[in-house]
Amino acid sequence: MENYVSNPINSFSLIRRMHEDWHDWKIFMESSIGQSQVAFLNKAKLQFPTKTDLNEASSSIVRLQKMYNLTAKDMARGVLNGKQYEASLTALDTYAMGRYLNKQNRDMAREWFVVTSELLKEQTPLTPLAGEREKVLHLFAQAIFDYEYYSIALSVFDHALLLANKTANPTLLSKRSKFEELARKEAEMVEKPKPKTKPTNYEIGCRGLFVRQSNMKCTYKSKDSPFLRLAPIKMEYLVLDPLVVVFHDVLSSGEIDEMQLITKPFLERTLIQHAFGAHIIQKFRTSKGMWINRNHNNLTLRIARRIMDMVDLDLQGSEPFNVMNYGIGGHYNTHYDYYNNSSVTDNRMATVLFYMTDVEQGGATVFPVLKQAVSPKRGSALFWYNIKHNGNRDPRTLHGGCPVLVGSKWTVFTQWINERANMFHRRCRKLEATAA
Under the banding of pLDDT at 50, 70 and 90, the label for residue 277 is very low
At 80-120, the pLDDT tens digits run 999 999 999 999 999 999 999 998 999 999 999 999 999 98
Q: Decide: helix, strand or coil at residue 225.
A: coil
Q: Which of 291, 269, 267 is nearest to 280 (CA)?
A: 269
Mean of pLDDT over the chain: 84
pLDDT: is 295 or 4 the higher one?
295
Q: How far apart are CA 157 and CA 170, in angstroms?
A: 14
Q: How far apart are CA 378 and CA 250, in angstroms?
A: 9
At 32-60, the pLDDT tens digits run 555 666 676 666 666 778 888 899 889 99
At 234-276, the pLDDT tens digits run 999 999 999 999 999 999 999 999 999 998 887 754 433 333 3
Under the banding of pLDDT at 50, 70 and 90, the label for residue 364 is very high
Domains identified in the chain and CATH numbers: 2-189 (1.25.40.10), 209-435 (2.60.120.620)
413 close to 322: Cβ distance less than 8 angstroms: yes
At 316-325, the pLDDT tens digits run 999 999 998 8
